[in-house]
């Protein structure tokens, strides 16, 4: 019996096939062997000669305006011994043009590669070399199995471990693992191929196939990776780029208090920082800046932008944390929550949007710290402006002025 894939209430299943039937070459059921040779044997689908085998089940068009065909599929790789290779077709257009993912077992793991075949020529889009922060998928070594899940849409081409849980509700990011891989680029199909659906296989032995609608095609279904979705409009959403830009926008006339932080920017890259440098990851979960900040910010200022698991409220899905360990004085920022000791804040949707991407967070401020106006004469300045910020006479008015200086934190595309 194949695992249960979908809750009936969401009605996201398009087709399933457990291949539990008589041996057949070519395979019986809703399949078309475009080229190569395939067979059903021992209640599973097996390749004899490489070539596309594509489902003949054709899903209905997207129910959203101006969107393309998109799907989510489950599959099990069988006979996944060391060195074995599996090739899964995500978006089939014709025999020489389609999107596909290659999986190879190396040791106890599956290593993925994302490809676009156009006119018979393959172009590598993403692998462990282009995204060295990616983590391979663990294999069930006792049975030499790998259960996978793929989303393929305009904004969400994602490979993950299959959970067996299926659809779980409207617009949920089903991030099943730290090993999730998402390609940042265009997916989806503008039209279906004649007589065929859009998914299938190219090479390998498989079982327990399930073919579902994706959230971009049907709002009640799931999506796989982090999408920017506005809470007030289910049809306003976008893919996050691999690099974001954090800007410190002064909420005062910059001429009243010069500061290197005024309109300063930080590049945030998708992934972790290792030995002071960003290591690009395919998982859309965390964006960070390199340890050496820009010349207009404190040297050790670190910013962490998180795309949280979407089981919580929509307005809590995106969090920014800011850490300035060496700051002389104190700074105020965030909503009282912390991650790894850094104060954090959730996005403020009243001033934010996904198209264009503008995510706004509460203002940053700092209490005045002492400085020297002249030899032996003490004054006050804002510690966030160590170079350009002038040292002011310590008066009640100047103290209030320095305390009131604020910078709004805004994330946009570069």
186 and 257: one domain? no
Segment 71-118, tens digit of pLDDT: 999 999 999 999 999 999 999 999 999 999 999 999 999 999 999 999
Segment 344-362, tens digit of pLDDT: 999 999 999 999 999 999 9
39 and 153: one domain? yes
Give the per-residue pLDDT at 287: 96
pLDDT beyond 90 at 222: no
Distances (CA, A) of 76 to 38, 143, 181: 16, 11, 17
List the CATH number of the domain containing 156: 2.60.120.200
Assigned domain for 118 exists: yes
255 and 210: one domain? no
Segment 3-25, tens digit of pLDDT: 334 334 468 899 999 999 999 99
207 and 249: one domain? no
138 and 19: one domain? yes
Rounded mean pLDDT of 288-297? 80
Assigned domain for 149 exists: yes
107 and 198: one domain? yes
253 and 219: one domain? no
Task: Give the strand pairing for 302-307 and 53-55.
Answer: unpaired
Assigned domain for 308 exists: yes
Average pLDDT over the chain, rounded to an integer: 89
pLDDT beyond 60 at 164: no
Assigned domain for 236 exists: no
Cis check: omega of the bond before 26, within 30 degrees of 0: yes
Run of H or E including 404: helix 396-404
Residue span of the structural domain in which 252 resides: 243-412
Q: Which of 198, 225, 252 is the last residue of a domain?
A: 225
pLDDT beyond 60 at 228: yes
216 and 306: one domain? no
Weakest mean pLDDT among 9-23, 33-47, 117-131, 398-412? 9-23
Assigned domain for 259 exists: yes
Assigned domain for 234 exists: no
**Residue 234: beta bridge partners?**
none
Assigned domain for 232 exists: no
Which letter does DSSP use for residue 258 in this model?
Answer: -
Number of domains in the chain: 2
Assigned domain for 311 exists: yes
Does the reported pTM lie above 0.75?
Answer: yes
SS3 for 282-345, per residue? CCCCEEECCCCCCCCCCCCCEEEEEECCCCCCHHHCEEEEEECCCCCCCEECCCCEEECCEEEE
Retrieve residue 104's tokens: 């190879």
């Amino acid at each position: 019996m194949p695992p249960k894939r979908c809750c009936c209430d969401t009605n996201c299943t398009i087709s399933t096939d457990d291949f539990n039937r008589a041996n057949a070459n070519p395979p019986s059921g809703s399949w078309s062997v475009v080229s190569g040779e395939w067979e059903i044997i021992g209640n599973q689908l097996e390749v004899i000669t490489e070539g596309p085998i594509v489902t003949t089940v054709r899903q209905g068009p997207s129910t959203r305006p101006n969107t393309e065909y998109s799907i989510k599929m489950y599959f099990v790789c069988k006979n996944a011994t060391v060195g074995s290779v599996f090739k899964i077709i995500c978006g089939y257009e014709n025999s020489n043009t389609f999107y596909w993912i290659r999986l190879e077992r190396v040791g106890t793991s599956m290593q993925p590669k994302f490809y676009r075949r156009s006119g018979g020529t393959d172009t590598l889009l993403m692998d462990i070399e282009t995204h060295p922060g990616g983590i391979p998928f663990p294999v069930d070594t006792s049975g030499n199995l790998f259960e996978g899940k793929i989303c393929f849409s305009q904004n969400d081409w994602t490979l993950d471990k299959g959970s067996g849980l299926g659809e779980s509700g409207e617009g949920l990011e089903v991030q099943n693992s730290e090993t999730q891989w998402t390609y940042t680029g265009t997916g989806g199909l503008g039209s279906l191929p004649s007589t065929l659906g859009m998914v299938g296989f190219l090479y390998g032995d498989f079982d327990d196939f399930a073919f579902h609608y994706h959230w971009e095609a049907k709002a009640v279904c799931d999506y796989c990776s982090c999408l920017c979705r506005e809470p007030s409009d289910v049809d306003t959403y976008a893919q996050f780029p691999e690099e974001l830009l954090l800007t410190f926008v002064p909420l005062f006339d910059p001429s009243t208090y010069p500061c290197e932080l005024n309109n300063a920017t930080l590049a945030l890259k998708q992934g972790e920082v290792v030995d002071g440098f960003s290591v690009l990851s395919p998982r859309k979960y965390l964006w960070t800046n390199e340890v050496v900040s820009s010349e207009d910010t404190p040297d050790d200022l670190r910013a962490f932008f998180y795309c949280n698991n979407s089981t919580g409220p929509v307005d809590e899905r995106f969090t920014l944390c800011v850490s300035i360990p060496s700051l002389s004085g104190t700074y105020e920022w965030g909503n009282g929550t912390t991650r790894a000791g850094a104060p954090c804040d959730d996005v403020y949707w009243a001033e934010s949007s996904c198209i264009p991407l503008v995510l706004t967070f509460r203002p940053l401020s700092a209490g005045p710290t002492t400085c020297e106006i002249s030899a032996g004469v003490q004054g006050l300045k804002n510690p966030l402006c160590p170079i350009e910020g002038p040292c002011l006479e310590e008066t009640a008015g100047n103290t209030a002025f320095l305390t009131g200086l604020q910078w709004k934190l805004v994330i946009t595309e570069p």
